[in-house]
């Protein structure tokens, strides 16, 4: 029995211990709850609010991108996501207007019928939902229309209407220069929009917003804590008219030739300002071409014969040649270290020797390659001299254009194993192979030649503005004051003019103006294809400037892999250049001398009207039309024009009431009007102005006859 009692007591003790522990835990929990509720209440309520109420960013309106004349190239259009908080409307307002609101919503969002909308609105209200999506990405006019619907027209707090604004980039002249203007999407920044993103983006604002779950945030109020600041505007150098003709001329060429892509760039010679930049690439598996990639700035290519200009300039600068020296063409065939070089032109194939000038005009690969091989392929020192000359023309340098992703030109280093330097490197470089460059970089070189050797930095943006006020200017920048001697520049200018007058671009010359240019045709992977002619691709190019005698614009056209028709630069790319030049010549005032460009000499007093009598209003009308300065000293009907030094004055002329007036110097019409109104009979002899009258002025009028002698 005692043993049973001991076991019972032992169990009770354990129960008491457990109960005590539970009670103690309960007390601790209650104490903690009291502490959290009262002592730390503010702290933890702040944590709760920080998770559900936050300052969320408000997108700022991005700035605009303008053309040089102020035309908008890229702007930001507002659009809105529309939501509804059904819990905000009173029962009376909701019940009375829910059917009308559903009727309106069914018209702007046909996803649900009128009955369906009414059911959704009612169900969401009953469920206490506060963030019902109505329609996304609506324009400002549509947003205003929706806001006028029943219930919504009571506003945010009485009607539950919520409109969250954003901005969408729009290019009014799309697709002109679309890739150059660019865009910003997540982590991808393209073109001017990407390069000047910080300038254009503005400053985001802040607003308190309440989280409704699933990362949906609803504004706590219509007020913003920090207002967003609109982005600044940039003004480009683009001429929208030249851009238009460059785009359309290039599009016609790539479409006709079924090319992979095409490039056309127009630059202002004196400043380096880009006036047009077009890039058209064929869409994959589609018969369309569009602005997909900025090949003008980013794509490196072997330029072919347009590079021969640099080769000739190197030879001239080092004093190796004169343009009238003779070069052997060997009927257009020559072997360099087991590599046979063959000219494609018919004239080269039938010519054994000619002047260097003529070899350049007909674009003889053999002729130019032999010259470079002869003078620079002697040893390492002479080879380095050629590379040094190429670099002195800045053909190894990037331009620094305001677009990310510019390609870095490639020029081989002498005897470099990494560059695969070989015996044929120099002669092949002479004609534009074994070197890489972008279209813009090559145009920059031609532009420097047109600018008498001064190389300018190509640029696309000339100003940053805020509400029309200029905040920052970007003036032209000289990259290199002289890329070659004035004698060399003058000489190669005659070469480029000769290409158009007598050479490979002869068919393109104009009777209205002169331009200077060089054709180019390169083969892609030429040294690796062997006899697989069916796989051969070409790049057709044409670079130059116009007008030749006083260059205003330089231009380059590059078309890769033309598949239909010709693939020569003069026949594929040349017509695009010519069409651009023609349009500029037709529409640009810079190509014409102003009629009043010369200083207007002051007229001598003898050449001015003097003592001319007549009706004052007539004199004023004539002098105003002729843009002649004068002073009026009278308000009388009749007046006299006198000249003193080089000034004209209209003075008062008194006409007596009952006496014969002096009409000498008047025109016949005015004299007849005046005399006949005074009762005189008038006879006229001669022609011109009145030089004499038969009755002396001041004679009393008695209806007599007066004779007027004109002359």
Pair 270, 222 in one domain: no
User: 547 preceded by cis ω (within 30°)?
Assistant: yes
Pair 440, 462 in one domain: yes
Q: β-strands 333-336, 339-342: how paired?
A: antiparallel
Residue 181 lies in a domain: no
Percentage of the chain exceeding pLDDT 70? 86
Closest-CA residue to 577 (of 495, 494, 504, 523) = 504
pLDDT at residue 451, as a whole number:
97
Residue 63 lies in a domain: yes
pLDDT, tens digit (0-9, with 9 covering 90-100), for 281-317:
999 877 889 999 999 999 999 999 999 999 999 999 9
pLDDT, tens digit (0-9, with 9 covering 90-100), for 219-278:
665 555 567 788 999 999 999 999 999 999 999 999 999 999 999 999 999 999 999 999
pLDDT at residue 101, as a whole number:
93
φ, ψ at 397 (rounded to 5°): -115, 145
Pair 512, 374 in one domain: yes
pLDDT, tens digit (0-9, with 9 covering 90-100), for 601-630:
555 555 555 566 676 777 677 777 776 776
pLDDT at residue 531 tops 50: no
pLDDT at residue 47, as a whole number:
46
Between 173 and 296, residue with greater pLDDT:
296
Q: Mean pLDDT lowest for which of 124-133, 163-172, 616-625? A: 616-625
Q: How far is CA 560 from the centre of its chain?
A: 24
Between 504 and 656, residue with greater pLDDT:
504
Closest-CA residue to 73 (of 277, 288, 289) = 277
Provide mean pLDDT across the span 174-180. 84
CATH number for the domain that contains residue 410:
3.40.710.10
R_g over Cα of the chain: 43
3-class secondary structure, 101: helix
**What is the DSSP secondary structure assignment for residue 670, as one 8-state letter?**
H
List alpha helices for 436-515, DSSP H: 439-450, 486-501
pLDDT at residue 522 tops 60: yes
Residue 485 lies in a domain: yes
Q: Mean pLDDT lowest for which of 362-366, 367-371, 415-419? A: 415-419
Q: What is the pTM of this model?
A: 0.73
Provide mean pLDDT across the span 425-432. 96
What is the torsion angle, in degrees rounded to the nearest 10, for the CA atoms of residue 134, residue 135, residue 141 and residue 147? Answer: 10
Confidence grade of residue 4 (pLDDT, cut at 50, 70, 90): low
Residue 3 lies in a domain: no
Pair 631, 654 in one domain: yes
Provide mean pLDDT across the span 439-463. 97
pLDDT at residue 469, as a whole number:
93
Pair 393, 260 in one domain: yes
Q: Mean pLDDT lowest for which of 8-17, 29-38, 161-170, 577-586? A: 29-38
Q: How far is CA 425 from the centre of its chain?
A: 39
Pair 347, 484 in one domain: yes
Residue 362 lies in a domain: yes
pLDDT at residue 216 tops 60: yes
Pair 337, 431 in one domain: yes
pLDDT at residue 420, as a whole number:
92
Q: Mean pLDDT lowest for which of 1-15, 327-341, 373-387? A: 1-15
pLDDT, tens digit (0-9, with 9 covering 90-100), for 84-119:
988 888 999 999 999 999 999 999 888 899 999 999
pLDDT, tens digit (0-9, with 9 covering 90-100), for 33-62:
676 666 665 654 554 444 566 676 777 889
pLDDT at residue 568 tops 80: yes
pLDDT at residue 529, as a whole number:
41
The dihedral built from the CA positions of residue 21, 23, 26 and 28, taken in this order, carries a sign that is negative
Q: How far is CA 4 from the centre of its chain?
A: 103
pLDDT at residue 48, as a whole number:
46
Provide mean pLDDT across the span 666-671. 81
pLDDT at residue 653 tops 80: no
pLDDT at residue 532, as a whole number:
45
Q: How far is CA 626 from the centre of its chain?
A: 41
Burial of 578 (0-12, 13-18, 19+ CB in 10 A): buried
Pair 550, 684 in one domain: no
Q: How far is CA 642 from the centre of its chain?
A: 55
Among residues 555, 590, 625, the one where a domain terminates is 590
Pair 544, 611 in one domain: no
Q: What angle do CA 29, 34, 39 make, to 5 degrees?
A: 130
Pair 265, 120 in one domain: no
CATH number for the domain that contains residue 143:
3.90.1310
Residue 251 lies in a domain: yes
CATH number for the domain that contains residue 683:
3.30.10.20
Count the domains in the chain: 3
Residue 22 lies in a domain: no
Pair 267, 353 in one domain: yes
pLDDT at residue 485, as a whole number:
95
Residue 624 belongs to domain spanning: 605-710
Q: Mean pLDDT lowest for which of 138-152, 242-256, 467-481, 677-691? A: 677-691
Residue 360 CA to residue 344 CA, distance in Å, equals 14
Pair 447, 426 in one domain: yes
Confidence grade of residue 170 (pLDDT, cut at 50, 70, 90): confident
pLDDT, tens digit (0-9, with 9 covering 90-100), for 377-413:
999 999 999 999 999 999 999 999 999 999 999 999 9
pLDDT at residue 353 tops 80: yes
Residue 288 CB neighbours (<10 A): 11
Residue 674 CA to residue 671 CA, distance in Å, equals 5
pLDDT at residue 210, as a whole number:
64
**What is the DSSP secondary structure assignment for residue 301, as one 8-state letter?**
B
Rounded mean pLDDT of the chain? 86
Residue 192 lies in a domain: no
pLDDT at residue 583 tops 50: yes
């Amino acid at each position: 029995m005692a043993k049973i009692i001991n076991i019972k007591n032992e169990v009770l003790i354990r129960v008491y211990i457990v109960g005590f522990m539970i009670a103690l835990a309960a007390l601790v929990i209650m104490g903690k709850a009291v502490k959290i509720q009262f002592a730390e209440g503010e702290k933890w309520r702040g944590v709760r609010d920080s998770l559900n109420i936050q300052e969320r960013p408000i997108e700022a309106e991005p700035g605009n991108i303008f053309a040089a004349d102020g035309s908008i190239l890229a702007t930001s259009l507002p659009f809105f996501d529309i939501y509804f908080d059904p819990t905000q409307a009173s029962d009376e307002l909701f019940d009375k207007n829910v059917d009308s609101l559903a009727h309106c919503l069914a018209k702007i969002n046909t996803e649900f019928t009128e009955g369906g909308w009414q059911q959704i609105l009612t169900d969401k209200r009953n469920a206490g939902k506060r963030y019902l999506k109505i329609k996304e990405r609506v324009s400002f006019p549509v947003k205003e229309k929706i806001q006028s619907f029943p219930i919504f027209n009571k506003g945010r707090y009485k009607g539950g209407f919520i409109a969250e604004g954003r901005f969408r980039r729009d290019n009014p002249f799309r697709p002109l220069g679309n890739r150059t203007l660019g865009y910003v999407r997540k982590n991808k920044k393209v073109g001017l929009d990407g390069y000047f993103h910080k300038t254009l983006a503005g400053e985001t604002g802040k607003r308190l917003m309440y989280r409704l779950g699933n990362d949906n945030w609803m504004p706590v109020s219509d007020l913003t804590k920090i207002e967003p600041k609109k982005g600044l505007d940039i003004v480009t150098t683009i001429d929208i008219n030249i851009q238009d003709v460059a785009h359309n001329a290039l599009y016609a060429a790539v479409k006709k030739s079924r090319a992979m892509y095409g490039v056309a760039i127009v630059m202002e010679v004196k400043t380096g300002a880009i006036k047009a930049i077009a890039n058209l690439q064929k869409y994959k598996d589609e018969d369309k071409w569009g602005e997909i990639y900025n090949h003008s700035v980013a794509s490196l290519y072997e330029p072919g014969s347009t590079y021969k200009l640099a080769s000739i300039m190197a030879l001239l600068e080092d004093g190796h040649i004169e343009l009238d020296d003779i070069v052997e063409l060997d009927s257009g065939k020559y072997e360099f270290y087991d590599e046979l070089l063959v000219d494609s032109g018919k004239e080269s194939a039938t010519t054994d020797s000619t002047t260097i000038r003529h070899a350049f005009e007909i674009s003889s690969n053999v002729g130019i390659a032999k010259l470079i091989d002869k003078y620079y392929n002697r040893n390492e020192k002479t080879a380095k001299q050629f590379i040094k000359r190429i670099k002195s023309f800045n053909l190894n340098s990037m331009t620094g254009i305001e677009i990310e992703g510019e390609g870095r030109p490639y020029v081989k280093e002498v005897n470099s194993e990494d560059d695969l330097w070989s015996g044929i490197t120099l002669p092949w470089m002479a004609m534009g192979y074994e070197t890489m460059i972008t279209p813009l970089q090559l145009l920059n070189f031609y532009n420097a030649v047109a600018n008498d050797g001064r190389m300018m930095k190509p640029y696309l943006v000339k100003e940053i503005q805020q509400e029309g006020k200029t905040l920052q200017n970007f003036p032209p920048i000289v990259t290199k004051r002289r890329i070659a001697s004035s004698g060399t520049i003058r000489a190669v200018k005659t070469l480029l003019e000769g290409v158009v007058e007598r050479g490979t671009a002869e068919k393109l010359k104009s009777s209205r103006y002169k331009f200077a240019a060089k054709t180019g045709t390169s083969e892609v992977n030429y040294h690796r294809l062997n006899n697989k002619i069916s796989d051969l691709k070409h790049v057709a190019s044409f670079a130059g400037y116009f007008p030749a005698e006083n260059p205003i614009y330089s231009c380059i056209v590059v078309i890769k892999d033309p598949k239909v028709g010709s693939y020569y630069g003069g026949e594929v790319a040349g017509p695009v250049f010519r069409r651009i030049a023609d349009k500029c010549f037709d529409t640009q005032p810079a190509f014409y001398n102003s009629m009043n460009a010369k200083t207007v000499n002051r007229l001598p007093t003898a050449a001015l009207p003097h003592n001319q009598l007549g009706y004052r209003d007539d004199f004023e009308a004539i002098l105003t039309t002729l843009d002649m300065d004068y002073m009026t000293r009278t308000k009388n009907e009749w007046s006299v024009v006198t000249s003193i030094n080089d000034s004209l004055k209209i003075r008062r002329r008194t006409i007596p009431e009952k006496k014969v007036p002096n009409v000498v110097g008047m025109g016949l019409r005015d004299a007849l009007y005046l005399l006949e109104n005074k009762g005189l009979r008038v006879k006229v002899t001669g022609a011109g102005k009145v030089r004499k009258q038969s009755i002396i002025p001041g004679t009393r009028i008695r209806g007599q006859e007066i004779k007027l002698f004109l002359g």
